[in-house]
Amino acid sequence: MDFIEGEVVCFNKPLDWTSFDLVNKFRNRLSQKLHVKKLKVGHAGTLDPKATGVMILCTGSATKRIDIFQGQTKEYVATLMLGATTPSFDLEKEIDATYPTSHITYETVENVLKTFVGRIEQIPPAFSACKIDGKRAYKLAREGRETALKAKVLVIDEIELLEYRLPVIKIRVVCSKGTYIRALARDIGESLASGAHLIALERTRVGDVTLDKCLTVGEFDSFLV
């Protein structure tokens, strides 16, 4: 494989790694192996630190394909905790409010999920990589500054209820580029009048790339032999 000219490599991003962590560690290991000081490496779609799953890395001239990968349909499996919210909509921040869940039934959840299928508007999370006046929203949020993000139009192709163990539910989501599953969890919680936040998130597919086609970080060395 010619990584300097350009290659595409798919990894299963570990929990608590940022997307940059994966890119940086792969670039450093690859540079050492190839004995080069500079190597162009980029990723096609950010994953939050608390998320795992498919990440596509491109090297060299293959970085020109990043936009193509980013535009492809994505699939996620998300686990939501109903009855509680956090400022980040996931486990990055502590619970800031709790709500009753006794009114929720399996049928209620299924009916609410159906309302999110199709073309919808979604306000991105304050803790996101969206830019406000040139600054990342998550940096402003972590500084305690209020952010006003505009709603974006996106498409949810499918939502399937995989597990129902109140107050925890697990769903499968097939969606377009730009979908924030944390924001979807927030909106589902609001629709259920219970609040919600993500307690686990895995990206299981990007286009035709599925988890079974991805390397683990432990396979860096064997892959580069």
- Give catalytic residues, as residue numbers: 48
State the Cα–Cα distance between residues 63 and 164, nearest whole angstrom. Answer: 40
CA 154-155-159 angle, to 5 degrees, is 130
**Which position has the token pair 């969206």?**
130
* Residue 142 three-state SS: helix
Instruction: Give SS3 for 73.
Output: coil
**DSSP 8-state assignment for residue 37:** S
Interatomic CA distance for residues 31 and 199, integer angstroms: 35
Q: Token match 């009753």: residue?
A: 100
Contact 104, 113 (CB under 8 A): no
Output phi, psi for 167, to 5 deg. Answer: -90, 15
DSSP 28-66: HHHHHHHT-S---EEESS---TTEEEEEEEEEGGGGGGH
Cα 40 versus chain centre, distance: 23
